[in-house]
Chain A
Amino acid sequence: MGDLTRHRARDDAPMVSPSSTTGLVEVFRRRHLLGLLVRTTMKSRYQGTLLGWAWSYLQPAVRFCLFYFLFQVMIGRGAETTPNFAIHLFAGMVIIHFFTETFNGGTQSLVANRSLIIKLAMPKELFPVARMLVALWHTGPMMVILVIACVATGWRPDMVGLGAGLLGFAVTMSLGLAVGLTFAVANVYFRDFGKVAQTLTQFVTFSVPMMYPYTLVAERFGETGAHYYLFNPMAEAVLLIQRCFWTGSTDDPAATAAAHLPDDLWSRGFVMLGATLLLLLLAQLLFARLEKGVPERL
């Protein structure tokens, strides 16, 4: 009756604590589950809609058109100082959206999966990571809209720009996951952290150069002000994304980059990646420390 291929642990396998996990490494080992979690989350998001997947393109497209008409046609914002302001804004928006969704989604992820966590032993990092991947997937359609707008204004991909974009995403990914992990576990202990996360994400939107050009910061707060301003990893990430898309869409990419981006964009970018990876490591250590109390506090 029962199949003979049932798996069996070997008799000489060591006895281990059943609750031991290796954190993010374990998440990678269970990528089949991770993939399914991400896929089902996305599948259920557009369930019951007639347009289905089209919504994920429609929403950002409408948003971009809105920006275009409001800022470039109606207000005529940045005609001389910040050309293609709609792209300047939307490019930043893509990565900020990715960050805030990772951050907020990650923060809520453990509480939202309470029914699983209190009954099954599984690497709990799985849930913040899944939220990050869902957020990453959502940037896909936004990227498509952004690329269409960029190509329409004369943008052509260049290797340096693409490198900047990838670096920007890498910084955002490790920072988003770091804060997502930290706040996810903190939110289990005190739900206040969910509110703090919401407040912080609002702040992030205004703390990066997308609604205003980076040059404005140096103009108003001086060189020192701009120096401290760039300690914000998300400000750096937004500038990298703008190097990827926005500068190339203007009439004179080199001049725009020289005028609107800091000279040390690249070195700052790599330092920032190192710093956010370190943060991620610290977040993982904190998470591992606090996660054993999670099932009873949920």
Chain B
Amino acid sequence: MSTVISVEHATKSFTMHYHRSLKQIALAKARGRQTSDTFNAVEDVSFTVGQGESVGLMGLNGSGKSTLLKLISGVMQPDSGSVLTRGRIAGLIATGAGFDLQLSGRDNLWLNAAILGMSRAETARKLDEIVEFADLGKFLDTPVTYYSSGMKARLGFAVAIHVDADIFIADEALAVGDRPFKRKCKQKMEEIVAQGTTMFYVSHAPGSVRKLCNRVLVLEQGRLGFDGGVEEGIHYLHYDDDDEDTQTADDGLGVDI
């Protein structure tokens, strides 16, 4: 099994600027107040992921999950340490970002596919599949402005989920979308895992992590608190206490992160 993600002692810190204008900075300095503060969103995190592994990334709000994901997807670079990957990274990140509301669903589909890295040929080949998955009917050729939020989300998901990837990242749980659509997405993601794609999945829902993943990472205040089996990881986070409720309540697919 070859390594596809290798994170070594990665640290990412953010600087918070309390004041932006010169006047405010001068005033704050004069009063002896802090003008900025830094904190480590991700601190000294190391792990490797092999080809075909399906990793659930868990942790409380603000524990650094999104930042770690941004390091892996390449949106950000670590301040120290290294993050290396192999192959194309895609997935349910920024679904629907860059939609132009004036344009039709079809135009946005092409644009969004290109934004996510699909070539013209690849989009053309998968067009029918995507259209069928989004299931927008005649609304496909009307401007996206007139879409309901659920329809917009469906279009975004349909495109993102069809991008071929070596590393599939899922950062967004299905907060929108009705039950049949959620089920369809879940099925598609299981299919992606079954095909041997490396999955990196952020979720608060133990049910879906159990179903999709074979390994769990838990972040605690930016540090890697746990790396191991799924059940142990969920137990580590104490997410297994009221498991039955969660699983029936959200159908095993996560709530918002």
A44-B97 contact in complex given A6-B195, A14-B86, C-beta closer than 8 Å = no
18 intermolecular pairs with C-beta atoms under 8 Å apart? A6-B197, A9-B87, A11-B51, A13-B87, A16-B85, A17-B82, A19-B77, A33-B115, A37-B114, A44-B100, A115-B97, A116-B98, A119-B94, A120-B73, A121-B89, A122-B115, A295-B70, A295-B76
B47 to chain A, nearest CB (A): 14
A230 to B103, CA, bound (A): 44
For A44, give the chain B residue with the smallest CB separation: B102
Check A119–B75 contact: CB distance below 8 A: yes
Check B116–A296 contact: CB distance below 8 A: no
Smallest CB-CB A-B distances: 10 pairs: A9-B87, A18-B74, A119-B94, A121-B74, A19-B74, A44-B102, A15-B84, A33-B114, A47-B102, A18-B85
**Residue B83 at the chain A interface, CB threshold 8 Å:** yes
A44 to B85, CA, bound (A): 37
Chain B contacts of A19 at CB under 8 A? 74-77
For A47, give the chain B residue with the smallest CB separation: B102
A37 to B115, CA, bound (A): 9
Chain A contacts of B143 at CB under 8 A? 47
A15 to B84, CA, bound (A): 6
Chain B contacts of A271 at CB under 8 A? none
**Residue B231 at the chain A interface, CB threshold 8 Å:** no
Interface positions of A from 18 to 49, Cβ below 8 Å from B: 18-20, 30, 32-33, 36-37, 40, 43-44, 47-48
Chain B contacts of A6 at CB under 8 A? 164, 195, 197
B218 to chain A, nearest CB (A): 22
Scoring A residues 112 to 127 as 1 if CB is less than 8 Å from chain B, else 0, what string do you get? 0101111111100000
- Tell me the count of chain B residues lying within 8 A, CB to CB, of chain A: 43
A18 to B10, CA, bound (A): 14
Across the interface, A8 reaches (CB within 8 A) one of B3, B75, B87, B94, namely B87
Check A11–B2 contact: CB distance below 8 A: yes
Check B6–A15 contact: CB distance below 8 A: yes
Q: Which of A20, A32, A47, A120 has the most CB atoms of chain B within a 10 A radius of its CB?
A: A120
A122 to B90, CA, bound (A): 12
B26 to chain A, nearest CB (A): 16
| Chain A, interface residues (CB within 8 Å), range | 35 or more
Chain B contacts of A32 at CB under 8 A? 114, 119-120
Chain B contacts of A116 at CB under 8 A? 94, 97-98, 115
Contacts A33-B115, A37-B111, A43-B103 known; list 20 others, CB within 8 Å: A2-B195, A6-B195, A6-B197, A8-B166, A11-B51, A15-B85, A16-B86, A17-B82, A18-B84, A20-B74, A37-B114, A40-B100, A43-B102, A48-B102, A115-B97, A119-B97, A120-B75, A120-B94, A120-B97, A120-B116
**Residue B236 at the chain A interface, CB threshold 8 Å:** no
A44 to B84, CA, bound (A): 39
For B14, give the chain A residue with the smallest CB separation: A296
Q: Which of A7, A40, A118, A295 has the most CB atoms of chain B within a 10 A radius of its CB?
A: A40
Interface residues of B (CB under 8 A from A): 2-4, 6, 14, 51, 70, 72-77, 82-89, 93-94, 97-98, 100, 102-103, 107, 110-111, 114-116, 119-120, 143, 164, 166, 191-192, 195, 197
Check A7–B164 contact: CB distance below 8 A: yes
- Number of interchain pairs (Cβ within 8 Å): 106
Check B98–A113 contact: CB distance below 8 A: yes
For B101, give the chain A residue with the smallest CB separation: A44
A36-B86 contact in complex given A18-B73, A292-B77, A296-B76, C-beta closer than 8 Å = no
Check A119–B93 contact: CB distance below 8 A: yes
Chain A contacts of B88 at CB under 8 A? 7, 9
Chain A contacts of B116 at CB under 8 A? 120
**Residue A1 at the chain B interface, CB threshold 8 Å:** yes
A186 to chain B, nearest CB (A): 15
A145 to chain B, nearest CB (A): 26
A37 to B99, CA, bound (A): 11
For A8, give the chain B residue with the smallest CB separation: B166
Chain A contacts of B72 at CB under 8 A? 18
For A45, give the chain B residue with the smallest CB separation: B102
A37 to B100, CA, bound (A): 10
Chain A contacts of B82 at CB under 8 A? 17
Check B89–A18 contact: CB distance below 8 A: yes
A9 to B84, CA, bound (A): 14
Chain A contacts of B94 at CB under 8 A? 115-116, 119-120
B73 to chain A, nearest CB (A): 6
B58 to chain A, nearest CB (A): 20
Chain B contacts of A16 at CB under 8 A? 84-86
A12 to chain B, nearest CB (A): 8
A9 to B168, CA, bound (A): 13
A47 to B116, CA, bound (A): 25
A47 to B146, CA, bound (A): 14
Interface positions of A from 243 to 298, Cβ below 8 Å from B: 292, 295-296
Check B3–A40 contact: CB distance below 8 A: no
Across the interface, B83 reaches (CB within 8 A) one of A7, A17, A37, namely A17
Across the interface, B76 reaches (CB within 8 A) one of A33, A40, A292, namely A292
